[in-house]
Structure 1
Amino acid sequence: MERIKKIFRLIHLSLWGLFTLLVGLQLGGEGEAHWLAKTTGFVATCIYVFYSHFHLLTRYTGKKKSERYVRSLVAILLTGPLPFLLTHHEALNSGSLFMEYYLMTLISIVVIFIFLGWLARVTETLVLNTIRKEQLEKQAAEAELQSLKAQIHPHFLFNTLNNIHTLVYKQAPTAPEAVQQLASLMRYMIYESNAPTVPLAREMDYVRDYVSLQQLRYKQRPVVDLQIEGETEAYAIAPLLFIHLLENAYKHSPARLEPGDLKVRVSIHEGTLLFRVQNPIGKRTAQSLEEPGGIGLPNVRKRLALLYPDQHTLTLQHTGETFTVLLTIHLHPAQAHERKADLLYH
Structure 2
Amino acid sequence: MKKSVIILSHIGFWLMIWFLIFTITNLIPMLLPSKDFNPLTNWEAYTSAALTVGILSVPFYIFFFYTKLIIKNVKFLIYPLLLIAPFFIGHVIWGENNSYKYMDALMTLVVILLFGFLGGLFQFFTDWFKKNRLKTELERKNFESNFALLRSQINPHFLFNTLHNIDTLIYDNQDKASKSLVKLSDIMRYMLKDAKSDFVELQKELNHLENYLALEQLRLKTEKFLNYRINVNADGLKIAPMMLIPFVENAFKHSVDSGTENGIMIDISLENKTLIFVCENRFDHSDTDKDKVHGIGLETVKKRLDLIYKTKHQLTINTDNSVFKVKLEIELNEN
TM-score range, shorter chain: 0.7 to 0.9
Who is 1:27 aligned against?
25
Structure 1: how far apart are the matches of 2:240 and 2:196?
12
Who is 2:164 aligned against?
162
SS class of match (2:317): strand
Pick aligned residue for 1:74 from 45, 59, 82 = 82
Deviates more, 1:213-222 or 1:29-38: 213-222
Who is 1:236 aligned against?
239
Q: Considering only aligned residues, what root-mean-square deviation do their CA atoms show, in Å?
A: 4.0
Structure 1: how far apart are the matches of 2:10 and 2:89?
22
Who is 2:15 aligned against?
17
Letter in 2 for 1:56: Y
SS class of match (2:270): strand
Structure 1: how far apart are the matches of 2:17 and 2:186?
67
Does residue 302 (structure 1) correspond to residue 296 (structure 2)? The answer is: no
Does residue 269 (structure 1) correspond to residue 266 (structure 2)? The answer is: no
| 1:1-346 pair list within 5 angstroms | 1-2=1-2, 5-31=3-29, 32-33=39-40, 34-58=44-68, 62-63=72-73, 70-79=78-87, 103-104=105-106, 106-168=108-170, 170=171, 172-173=173-174, 174-216=176-218, 225-233=227-235, 234-239=237-242, 241-242=244-245, 245=248, 248-249=251-252, 252=255, 255=258, 263-277=265-279, 286-287=284-285, 290-293=288-291, 298-309=295-306, 311-318=314-321, 323=323, 325-334=325-334, 336=335
Structure 1 residues 129 and 324, CA, compared in 2 at 3 Å: closer, same or farther? closer
Structure 1 residues 114 and 214, CA, compared in 2 at 3 Å: closer, same or farther? closer
Q: Under a length normalisation based on structure 2, what TM-score does the superposition of the two structures give?
A: 0.74
The answer to whether the 8 Å contact 1:312/1:327 transfers is yes
Deviates more, 1:216-225 or 1:26-35: 216-225
| CA shift digits 1:113-134 (9 cap, x unpaired) | 1122112222222232223223
| CA shift digits 1:78-137 (9 cap, x unpaired) | 24898xx8xxxxx97959599669725632421221122112222222232223223223
Aligned-residue sequence identity (percent) comes to 20
Offset, 1:218:
7.5
SS class of match (2:242): coil
Deviates more, 1:244-253 or 1:215-224: 215-224
The answer to whether the 8 Å contact 1:277/1:325 transfers is yes
Structure 1 residues 225 and 215, CA, compared in 2 at 3 Å: closer, same or farther? same
**Structure 1: stretches of 5+ with no match in the other structure:** 86-90, 337-346
Structure 2: how far apart are the matches of 1:200 and 1:24?
62
Structure 1 residues 231 and 30, CA, compared in 2 at 3 Å: closer, same or farther? same
The answer to whether the 8 Å contact 1:81/1:106 transfers is no
| CA shift digits 1:193-222 (9 cap, x unpaired) | 123443222110112222333455589989
Offset, 1:300:
4.8
Letter in 2 for 1:43: V
Letter in 1 for 2:290: P
Structure 1 residues 35 and 102, CA, compared in 2 at 3 Å: closer, same or farther? same
The answer to whether the 8 Å contact 1:249/1:277 transfers is no
Structure 2: how far apart are the matches of 1:72 and 1:324?
62
**Structure 2: stretches of 5+ with no match in the other structure:** 30-38, 307-312
The answer to whether the 8 Å contact 1:49/1:110 transfers is yes
Q: Under a length normalisation based on structure 1, what TM-score does the superposition of the two structures give?
A: 0.72
Offset, 1:151:
4.7
The answer to whether the 8 Å contact 2:314/2:330 transfers is yes
Structure 1 residues 56 and 235, CA, compared in 2 at 3 Å: closer, same or farther? same
SS class of match (1:312): strand
Letter in 1 for 2:6: F
Structure 1 residues 23 and 118, CA, compared in 2 at 3 Å: closer, same or farther? same
Deviates more, 1:304-313 or 1:147-156: 147-156
| CA shift digits 1:227-261 (9 cap, x unpaired) | 22234342413415325525744984655578x98
Letter in 1 for 2:84: I
